[in-house]
Structure 1
Amino acid sequence: MELITFLVIGALAGFAAGLFGVGGGTIIVPLLFIVFTQMGYSPDVVMHLALGTSLATIIVTSISSLMAHNTKGSVMWPVFKNLAPGMALGCFFGAGVAGLISGIHLQIIVGIFLLWVAYRMFAKAKNQTASSTSNTADQDTQFNEIALPSTPKQLAAGGVIGIASAIFGIGGGSLTVPYLTRYGVVMQKAVGTSAACGLPIAIAGALGFMFFGMQQKIDVPNTIGFVHIYAFLGISVMSFFTAKLGAKVAHILSPAMLKKCFSVLLTIVGCYFLYKGLR
């Protein structure tokens, strides 16, 4: 029954990720929190399990996303090489930081984060306009003229993004894309590079939650540290297939309306986490 439940979560998470164009973490974390709670797991570890398992599942989806963006030439590999080490280290040790935070406080932190994502998504949907397209040569020229921070600063920024990704259980796209676009990187390349950065974040984060979870010797079946094995397998398999279906449906419906609907959903979930945490 557990495996069937996780297959259903994976199907929903993958479809929603493809439909709304967001990372699966914002969907997987709330669903796993509810399911793990209903399974009777200790409130002290439920949120940690949801975050660690979410990052583990992102490994699979990030590989698929990375390959797709790299085919289109939208990954800035020099920037990736500068950001990735900090992201990996930050996310690994960020898992340790998350392990030190109580389950209640994690609920409040994630709830606030989801409300922030909901606000940004709603604002983008409201102000969405047709963006002008440019060819690859123009984008490459623009990239060469971008004044990105120095390598040490990019390394430090990657560390901050990695720590935050571990605490929120996400692939980092909600933070990496704004960071790159702030310095004038075109949206296509920012998204592509962010997709590439999601892989080291997910791998390091999953390993971190496994390692630090094992140090705490939690009494939960079918887990390695803070990563639930059945949930990882079920969600990874199903989300890989249903994400493509969600993407197809997204092309039929209005993107602005989809973002507004998803922002409402995130607002409800964020308020739910705040209610559980503050109660």
Structure 2
Amino acid sequence: MSLLDPQLVLELALIGTCTGFLAGLLGIGGGMLMVPFVTFILTTKGYPAEYTVKMAVATSLATICFTSLSSVRAHHLRGAVLWPVVRVLAPGILVGSALGAQLAVALPGKLLGILFAIFVAFSATQMFLNRKPKPSRTLPGPAGTISMGVVIGSLSALVGAGGAFVSVPFMTWCNIRIHDAVGTSSALGFPIALAGTAGYIWAGQGLPQMPPGSFGFLYLPGLVIISMASMLMAPLGARTAHRMDIQPLKKVFAIVLYCLAAYFLFR
């Protein structure tokens, strides 16, 4: 299979277009779309089944490095990125992402998928029902916020997502408005993706029967094509997000989380 096969290029570009729009709209990296479809594409090309999911996760994380930069710029221009929150969460996220990538290589995929689906469905329900946080509730102290960063980073690296499925509900629970939570989450996607990608590259070194163009578990053709398409669409998603009312945006995000939970249950 040529790296420049037209059908392969078209498939990867379509994935990038959809995930880029979602990244800008909801502050997510689009892993719930990217991981299953990249896995399907690599499987149909005849690559070893034990590698395809991990390669899809690694490629999803790597594209978030680029998508998040495009998305966060659009949100920053609208004043929707809380940089003090990013600075406190980022150290824990870096540690958690690196650990999560290593855990993903070792843990049974079925058990991980079921536990993750339950957690995501719970978060979606809380947001869909619009549970109101206590008016006095704020972000925890530095130690608590850094610890939450470790959790966000670990879960994100395990599933190839940008972390918004945890960070947005967490921030809204702490009385941060949804638009600021989405914008801040887009900024957190970069450290999550960078550390997670490095972990997957390290874990996949020297394995036999890897597809051409792979670097560890990272699938370079997918990274290049998906990133280019997604960076073009992320600003459009961000502009759409800032034209929407808060409550519909919450429900859209909850529906995306339900889709992610269903994918992991029925994978």
**TM-score, scaled relative to structure 1:** 0.76
2:183 aligned residue? 192
> Which of structures 1 and 2 has the bigger CA Rg?
1
Matches within 5 A, 1:209-220: 209-214=200-205, 217-220=207-210
1:165 aligned residue? 156
2:48 aligned residue? 42
1:68 aligned residue? 74
Q: Does 1:152 align with 2:158?
A: no
1:100 aligned residue? 106
Partner SS state of residue 214, structure 1: coil
Task: After TM superposition, give the deviation of residue 117 of structure 1 in Å.
Answer: 6.5
The structure carrying a bigger helix percent of its residues is: 1
1:12 aligned residue? 18
Task: After TM superposition, give the deviation of residue 109 of structure 1 in Å.
Answer: 5.0
Matches within 5 A, 1:104-253: 104-108=110-114, 112=118, 115=121, 119=125, 123=129, 147-214=138-205, 217-221=207-211, 222-244=213-235
The range that moved more, 67-76 or 166-175, is: 67-76
Equivalent-residue separation in structure 2 for 1:181 and 1:240 (angstroms): 26
Structural RMSD (CA)? 3.4
Number of equivalences: 257
Letter in 2 for 1:168: V
Conserved? CA contact 1:30–1:269, under 8 Å: no
Equivalent-residue separation in structure 2 for 1:75 and 1:22 (angstroms): 14
Structure 2 stretches lacking a partner, 5+ long: none
The range that moved more, 153-162 or 64-73, is: 64-73
Conserved? CA contact 1:113–1:168, under 8 Å: no
The range that moved more, 89-98 or 99-108, is: 99-108
Q: Does 1:81 align with 2:87?
A: yes
Cα deviation, 1:210-248, whole Å, max 9, x if unaligned, reads 112226x25312211121100111110111223455667
Q: Residues 272 and 203 (structure 1 numbering): CA distance in 2 closer, same or farther, change over 3 Å? A: closer
Matches within 5 A, 1:260-275: 270-271=261-262, 273-275=264-266
Letter in 2 for 1:50: A
Cα deviation, 1:81-118, whole Å, max 9, x if unaligned, reads 11101101110111001111234445545655665576
Task: After TM superposition, give the deviation of residue 148 of structure 1 in Å.
Answer: 2.7
Equivalent-residue separation in structure 1 for 2:238 and 2:25 (angstroms): 5
Cα deviation, 1:168-225, whole Å, max 9, x if unaligned, reads 211111111222222222333322222211111111111111112226x253122111
Conserved? CA contact 2:120–2:258, under 8 Å: yes
The range that moved more, 196-205 or 12-21, is: 12-21
**TM-score, scaled relative to structure 2:** 0.79
Structure 1 stretches lacking a partner, 5+ long: 128-141
Q: Residues 171 and 21 (structure 1 numbering): CA distance in 2 closer, same or farther, change over 3 Å? A: closer
Task: After TM superposition, give the deviation of residue 254 of structure 1 in Å.
Answer: 10
